[in-house]
Structure formats: C-alpha cells, structure tokens
Structure 1
C-alpha cells in the first residue's frame, strides 16, 4: 500500500533562513539557498569556495533535490516498489531491507508513463465517447419533446373532431326537439281557435237573448230562437295536455373515454412500437368512434348520446302523451 508523501519530501525552501523559497543549491553541502543566503554563503570563509548553481526546474532534475522526511540529511534516491514509497539509503537498510528497490528516476518515469497512458485513454477514448453519448442524450431529449408536442397536437385535433361530431348530434337533437315543440304548439293553436269560435257563438247568442229580454214585447218576441247548437256546445271538448319526457343522458362520455384511442406510453427500451401498426390501431379506433357517432346522429333517441324527449312514452299507437279530461 502506497503511503502519502509528507510535505518535507516536496517542499523546497532555503535551508539557511528556512523562510524564503530556494533559488540556488550548494552542491558541496547539498543545501538550498535563497538569494540573500547565497550572498552570505559565498562571503563566509568556510563556504566561500563551495560550488553554488542555479536551482533547476526540470522535473527529472528536481528529483535530486528531494530529501527524506525521516532522515533529513539524506536525499531520496530510490523507490520501494512493494511499499510504493520513495526512500533514502538509510530507509533501505533500516525498514525496506529485502524489498524490490528501483531508482527514483525509473519509478518516476514508470509512474509518468502510466499517468500519461491513462490521460491519453481519458482524452482519446472516454471523453469523446461520453461527449458523443451526451450529444445523443441531448438529441433524444429534443426528439422526445418533439414527439410529445406532436402527439399533443394529434390529441387536440382528434378531440376537436370528436367535439364537432358531438355538437352535430346535439344540434340535430335540439332541432328535432323544436320540431316536436312546433307540432305541439300547432295542435294547441287549433284547439284555441276552436274554443274561440265557440265562445264567439256563445257571446253572440247571449247578446241576442239579452236584447230580446230587454226589448218591449212584440210579435217577434214569440218567435222561437234556435239554440239547438247548445247541445253540441254543452259537450265540452276533450282537453289535451302536451308534455315532453325528461332528457336522459346516455353513456357517450364513458364510450368516448373507452374508445378515445391508445394513449402513448413512454418506453425505455429500444424496441419502440412500429409506427404503421400504431397508426393502424388509431385509425381502427377512429372508425369505431365515427360509426358510433354516425349511428347516434341518425337516431337521436339512442342510448349513447342520450334519450331525447319523445311523445309516445305512454301510448304506443298515439305519438303524444295525452291526459284527457271532460
């Protein structure tokens, strides 16, 4: 198991002041120096002849500047493969004796190459594939929205057609109702005319009788007045009442609900229903509904749209429901 590296293994600071970042390295004493400490290092008698060079920033060269976190004066020179850890010579002798050891540069190059290969796989394989999948998901999302919008338009158009057919049936039913109403009113008008004529005869006869009674008696007083018609008038005409049966709504709502169509279901698999088969089923349902509506349109008193008011509710041979009174 690889152990986490400590900050001392990677952080390069001035070994003299331990405050500033190192810009130089003394190869003689293996010390890192900042600009200020380099000047002091070169001015001291004991260190003025040390070899000081610019601290290089190449990654491979920086490996030679890493020191062990456990043995501060030792440079990290090797890499313990089983422990996955950079080590110094003291670490090899004390805690990594017998382990598979390789140079730090070799381990660095192997890790670098492995990371580079992984990076290439991510950049050249995984990321393009996931980008393609993401674009595909965006396209599918757009297609799904378009499909839903198109189906919504179809449902609305279909609904308007159904409503239009129902409105036609309603219009036909109302027209038939008004025709029945007109017939009944005409019959009532005939009855009113007959009654008015009889009332006129009665009023004329009453006026004639009143005038005779009020006049002075003369020879005409003894002439008989023809009132034989009173026998006919005495028999009051049979009065007829007209009324409609109540409207009885049918089961068209449930019928439309049951036969409105096959509602689309969202499928998550790749085996979508064949469009031609789906359209064929939709046409069959449309034909069934149209036939029902046409049949209902032809006979308004059916049980689908509703039972329209009829006049033969009680008397089979008589088209009117009549209540006769003498």
Structure 2
C-alpha cells in the first residue's frame, strides 16, 4: 500500500524541513515505509529513512548513488558543508569565486586599463616629439641648398616610417590588453553566473587562478632620437645634414 502511494506521489511523500522536525516533534516516521521511526536523511532526494529502508535505498539501482546521512546531522546542519571534501565544498568554492571576482575587479581590470592608457600616451608622446623634430629639420633645411632636399625627404620618410612601425607595435600591445580585458570581463560574468548556481552544482572546475604571465602582455618600449643639425660650414654633406632622426622600439 505504501509503495503504491510513494509511486504516485514520487519517491517520498511531502518532506519536513529541519525547523519542522525540531519544533516539538519527538517521532518522525520513515517516508518510505511510513511505520518505523526515521533515523537517516537522503540529501539527494530529501527523504527521511529508517535503518531498513536506508539499506534498501543505498542498494537500489536508481538510488544507490544517493548521499545518505544521519537525520540528527541533517537537523544540525541542513547544508552539510562540513561533510564534504574541503576542496569540493560549495561554500568554499563560492568563497573562492567571490575572491577571484574581487581580485579581477579591484586589481586586474584597473591595472590593464591603466596599462592601456599608458600605451596610448606613448603614442601621443611619440607623435608630439616627432612633430617637434620635423619642425626642427624643416628649419635647418631652409638654410641648406636644394641638393640637400632629397636627403632631407629621405630622412623624414624614414622617421615617419619608424614612428608608424612603433605605433603599430604599440597598437598590437593595446589590442592584446583589450583582449585580456574582454577575457576578464567574460570571466567576471561567468563567475556571476556560477555564483547563482545551486550548491549541488558547484565544482572545482569553476575556479581559475589569475596568473600574471597569462594576463600581462609584452609591452613596447621606445626612444625618439633627437635630430642633431650639422654645421653649414662643414665640407661634408653628411656633416651638414647631421644625424638622421629615427625612432626605435622593442
């Protein structure tokens, strides 16, 4: 009779909460046989079992993998975190996820955004310095005869090519930084979704430590070499032209 009733209603009849169990109730019957006192609690299907039904429950094909604990332990700690492996404890995982998210928001994202801004400032600085050098080159060449014009133009073209190549290298660094920012942003949202999961769904694979080697790209360093005009009294054309300006980066 009880088995037909259980089949119609599900594996167990309506469950009592730990509060309902402890509030003035000295006898709690087994949800399966409904005759003997319950001594155990199944965390998987949330049913109360007597000792005999517990043995059957743990050997049945459909329920042999269920987690069964003492009813007294369930009443004392319904979540049961202390009964799980420390590394697999949902509370511990949630704490680690929150810590990871806090680290991303408080440290990694601001750091990468600051680095991106610094790289952009490098580009602006290169541009300003190059423009100043170009002005100086133009001023110097106003005092040089036409035969030096070709040499001047070659130097400016080379300077601008160097600056463009350096800027391209910095652009690549900025792209890498923005990729990392996007990656961490996605990870932040992923963690937010994980934190909404049920405790039973938590697992170690959700956690991912932040490593500097994986997050920090190689950054470009540069130096804009000044234009040094030569003396117009010099006999050598190169001495008159001076050291060619150029940009280096690595």
User: Quick check: TM above 0.5?
Assistant: no
TM-score (norm. length: structure 2): 0.42
Q: 1 or 2 for the larger relative contact order (CA 8 Å, sep ≥6)? A: 2
TM-score (norm. length: structure 1): 0.34
Larger Rg: 1
Task: Name the structure where helix makes up a greater proportion of residues.
Answer: 2
